[in-house]
Amino acid sequence: MQVSSLASLSGLKEPALPRAVEYVEGEAWIWRCCGCGVDQQLQLQFDPEPGNPLMLWLCIAGFFLRLQKTFVNYGEAMMYGLETCPNAWLRTHSVWGRYTVSFLLIITQLGFCSVYFMFMADNLQQMVEEAHVTSSTCQPRKILVLTPILDIRFYMLIILPFLVLLVFIQNLRVLSIFSTLANITTLGSMALIFEYIVQGIPDPRNLPLMASWKTFLLFFGTAIFTFEGVGIVLSLKNQMKHPQQFSFVLYLGMSLVIVLYICLGTLGYMKFGSNTQASITLNLPNCWLYQSVKLLYSIGIFFTYALQFHVPAEIIIPIVISQVSESWALFADLSVRTALVCLTCVSAILIPRLDLVISLVGSVSSSALALIIPPLLELITFYPEDMSCVTIAKDIMISMLGLLGCVFGTYQALYELIQPVSHSIANSTGVYA
């Protein structure tokens, strides 16, 4: 059964929401796909996730028919799915399905924001502390100093007040302007990064063919972190002018992102080998040209922070405002936004390891949202309609893969976090390489 046929049978028109919403939420996903952690452990992967947003939308389209609702979000889809399952206990506790999905979305998006804090602080530290030795000659990076002048956490605190002011902007049309600026800066930065890494690539035969098996566990979390965007994808599908083209747009976009990852990850690893940092921008030479690349990329990430922040804010703030009088609504809104930004800053300060935080967030919450829940929801929703054995086996396999990756990926990321930096198998986010 196709998505378009389900939507047409429902006889319901999808709500026409502002185009700025579609633009902003789409940019948030694309930016994460092009942002941090591209050049960590590069291995072959099997990624079943591109079909999972489509799988989730099939479930939601089914609820259009059953419930006659114009729009069902991720959390509501989980709740309605549990309400129709054969198990009586799950039916009576179906609301906890919505709470669980909302909680995972909050953890995931705030985790993205914490990663952005670390990314900006890493690049800002490198730019500031190497300013006195930056030249016009772009030579390969060499060891400059062993001890940073200022701790990385100091740079996070510098960024904090500016991000607080940024998230006070609630107008999505204004944020869409910032998204345009972020796109421009990222396109220029990516072009210059590719231009540098394709020059003078060493003999790849000197590189190991396979990394340690432990890095596969960290890579799982990193891959899921970068590809997970199921909540944003559903919003985009709901706002498309031609929703019947959703599957084509989804697979086209995912194909482009995968090609980008493979090219940048492969070329970056071939160029820098074992010295590859958690973000490829930290491997760029300390000349003015590539310092400007780091600046442009950091500006783009800065604006994108507000886009990622929009999702948890829209979940948490209405709950808080409903508990206060109308005269205190604005104060409560701004206070919650400030507290959430400070929370992401504190998280980044406590765990200033960009690569490991990416793997941890991807393993803990992103894998649940992207791999575990959608197949289970499809089973719950369509099992009464005589699903084929192949579909049932496929859903079970994807969920099991997500569960195993979640458990072992989380364990490995936590294990690496408690190890001294010098003993960690993961790349350090240290500025000086």
Residue 44 included in any domain: yes
Residue 321 included in any domain: yes
* Tens of pLDDT, residues 238-265: 666 777 777 787 788 778 878 888 888 8
Q: Rounded distance, CA 53 to CA 229, Å?
A: 8
Instruction: Check which CATH number belongs to the domain holding 102 and give it.
Output: 1.20.1740.10
Q: Are 83 and 403 in contact (CB under 8 A)?
A: no
Residue 22 banded pLDDT, cuts 50, 70, 90: very low
* Tens of pLDDT, residues 363-422: 888 888 888 888 888 888 777 777 788 888 988 998 998 899 889 888 888 888 887 755
pLDDT > 70: what percent of the chain? 73
Residue 433 included in any domain: no
Q: Rounded distance, CA 259 to CA 265, Å?
A: 10
pLDDT at 15 over 50: no
Query: Would you give the distance in Å from CA 228 to the centre of its chain?
Result: 6
* Tens of pLDDT, residues 276-299: 887 788 888 878 888 888 888 888
Residue 310 included in any domain: yes
Residue 144 included in any domain: yes
Residue-number span of the structural domain to which 32 is assigned: 3-423
What is the length of the chain? Answer: 433
Q: What is the DSSP string of 319-355?
A: HHHTTS-GGGHHHHHHHHHHHHHHHHHHHHHH---HH
Residue 387 included in any domain: yes
Q: Rounded distance, CA 226 to CA 204, Å?
A: 26
Residue 170 included in any domain: yes
Number of domains in the chain: 1
Residue 215 included in any domain: yes
pTM listed for this prediction: 0.75
